[in-house]
Structure 1
Amino acid sequence: MADVLSDGSLNQLFREARTHQYFDGREVSDEQIHAIWELAKMGPTSMNQLPARIVWCKSDAAKERLAAHAAPGNVEKVRNAPVCAIVAMDVDFHEQLPQLFPHGNGKAMFDGKPEARETSAFRNSSLQGGYLILAARALGLDCGPMSGFNNAAVDADFFADDPSWKSNFICSIGYGDPTRLHERSPRPDFGAFNRLI
């Protein structure tokens, strides 16, 4: 059985981690981006579908393109982040299942079923986006996930050559500026949102 993580690790991943909208100006290296993926890809998805497709907008030009499709309140968040990841999903993920899930006939389960593929791609790419956030935090970075943007415009701009890719959410990544955080929003106790039966 694996050991329980230390309080310091749990604090970094959950208890003291915050959603950051502002960053302190330090860069995020290509090596750090690769390291985030190497951790995030290990998180479980149904049948090892791994439908997430990530575009890491690091250059000013790429961030400006993405900012053009962001809601007004998110434009500067995208522009000023060291990196802003577009977490997308491939609704034709099943084409990769013979390699990713070799001990089952997963591809046949999704052939000719676009609605089932979209549901599964959305669910599992959302999971992978969560893993990406935890991976970044584990590596000492901070994140600011956002859903305020025009999905259709992002898809047309960034995925014209890959029409089966559909944007899910975007996430700014960097070293957060703690001086610009507001008070943490409430997190209810177990009894408020849970039933143990």
Structure 2
Amino acid sequence: MTATATAEPRLDQGALDSLFADAHTVHKFSSEPVDPEVVQRAYEDLRWAPTAFNAQPLRLTVLTPGAEREAVVEHFMEANRQKSLEAPLTVIAAYTEDWHEHMPQLAPQNEGAREKFGTQEKMRKVVGEQSALIQVGYLILALRARGLEVGPMTGLSPAGIDSVVHTENGWKTLVAINIGLPAADGAVRPRGGRLEFEQASQVF
């Protein structure tokens, strides 16, 4: 009989629920301001999580209320505009296609990785998009762990947003995330259903 490994939980169920089961996407935030430094602290947490090749392609543009955010929000679908303008912070999560330039720092054991990926534009794009989206998931959990709520959105024009805030660095927009504390009323919508493990998995 093969022994089955067991692991002790690092968080109790209440802490896990605060990140998952009890957390909701927030659509209406309170007017209480949020220090942009909280995004930096969340990034300091998420940067240790795994990505392909230890690439770190996620790039964040933190938008406080003002002209830049107003110009960016013009490139959101209409249903996402007003709630974004009312949120304390909006973060544009993007990826950079030149993530491979940092490989000597991020993966020094892989000698020549920077040069190898430098010749593989298509692969860099795939790895950049996929790993950055993985990092977006970590960001959401890191912000929740630090006591904030989030409203991630994909109803937007990436090219339009890039034309406002990414012209100098060439970053490619993936998603937008509103951040803050929930409003007293109307912050969340009724909880939607979720698939059971048996519906979403197979075990061999």
TM-score grouping bracket, smaller chain normalisation: over 0.9
Query: What is the match of residue 97 of structure 1?
Result: 103
1:42 aligns with 2:42: no
1:83 aligns with 2:111: no
1:10 aligns with 2:41: no
Q: Which has the larger radius of gyration?
A: 2
Aligned equivalents of 2:72 and 2:135: distance in 1? 21
Identity %: 30
How many pairs are equivalent? Answer: 196
- The TM-score normalised by the length of structure 2 is 0.91
Query: What is the match of residue 198 of structure 2?
Result: 191
In the alignment, is the contact (CA less than 8 A) between 1:66 and 1:78 conserved in 2? Answer: no
Which amino acid is 1:173 matched to?
I
Query: What is the match of residue 60 of structure 1?
Result: 66
In the alignment, is the contact (CA less than 8 A) between 2:36 and 2:62 conserved in 1? Answer: no
Aligned equivalents of 2:86 and 2:24: distance in 1? 18
Aligned equivalents of 1:183 and 1:193: distance in 2? 22
Query: What is the match of residue 3 of structure 2?
Result: none
Matched ranges for 1:18-167 at <5 A? 18-105=24-111, 106-163=113-170, 165-167=171-173
Instruction: Give the aligned CA root-mean-square deviation in angstroms.
Output: 1.4
Aligned equivalents of 2:197 and 2:185: distance in 1? 30
In the alignment, is the contact (CA less than 8 A) between 2:65 and 2:85 conserved in 1? Answer: no
Q: Which moved further from structure 2: 100-109 or 113-122?
A: 100-109
Which amino acid is 1:157 matched to?
V
SS of the equivalent of 2:185 reads: helix
Deviation of the 1:178 alpha carbon: 5.8
- Whichever structure has more helix as a proportion of its residues is 1
Aligned equivalents of 1:117 and 1:178: distance in 2? 44
What residue ranges of structure 2 are gaps of 5+ in the alignment? 1-6
